[in-house]
């Protein structure tokens, strides 16, 4: 019976799929963000999240377990020295998938998978939202009144396009 044996095979053999996920996990740890198809990103998320959880505890056993999946000494070192420090306080959900549209050639849905604690832009937005929420209601209204209204952008005049007429056929 096939009870609870359902996951995406990604159109590959077992060895090819394991090698591909290992390489993608190493790239994600190295670059902190990679672009891929949505199906591969979801499979990678299931593959890499337990490795990130194991990296929180720096023991010989956990290093060997992670190495058995990644097969890359440099990425294991990077994971345990740099990445695990940033994710130490996070209870889970170490990766984020951002959909980016569809690929032109085969219309596959593309996305970016990234480590959550390494996206500086989203961390700044989160800090700004948190700071905005801590204000009292009265001071927020005063800040709106005190802020000058931005002037509307002025459009530059557009030069008329010069059209050339083709010589008349004789």
pTM: 0.72
- Cα gap 136→96, rounded to integer Å: 32
- pLDDT tens, position by position, 29-61: 999 999 999 999 999 999 999 999 999 999 999
- pLDDT tens, position by position, 3-14: 998 889 999 999
- pLDDT tens, position by position, 49-103: 999 999 999 999 999 999 999 999 999 999 999 999 999 999 999 999 999 999 9
Domains by residue range for the chain, with CATH = 14-121 (3.90.1030.10)
Tokens read off for 19: 């090698």
- Cα gap 164→6, rounded to integer Å: 65
């Amino acid at each position: 019976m096939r009870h609870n044996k359902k996951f995406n095979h990604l159109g590959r053999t077992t060895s090819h799929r394991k090698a591909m996920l290992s390489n993608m996990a190493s790239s994600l740890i190295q670059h902190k963000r990679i672009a891929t198809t949505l199906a591969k990103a979801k499979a990678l998320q299931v593959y890499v999240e337990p490795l990130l959880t194991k990296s929180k505890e720096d023991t010989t056993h956990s290093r060997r377990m992670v190495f058995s999946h990644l097969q890359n000494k440099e990425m294991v070192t990077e994971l345990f020295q740099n990445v695990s420090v940033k994710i130490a306080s996070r209870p889970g959900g170490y990766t984020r998938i951002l959909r980016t549209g569809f690929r032109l050639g085969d219309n596959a849905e593309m996305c970016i998978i990234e480590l959550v604690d390494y996206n500086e832009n989203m961390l700044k937005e989160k800090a700004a939202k948190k700071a905005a929420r801590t204000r009292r209601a009265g001071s927020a209204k005063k800040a709106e009144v005190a802020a000058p209204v931005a002037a509307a952008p002025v459009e530059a005049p557009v030069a008329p396009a010069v059209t050339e007429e083709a010589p008349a056929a004789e």
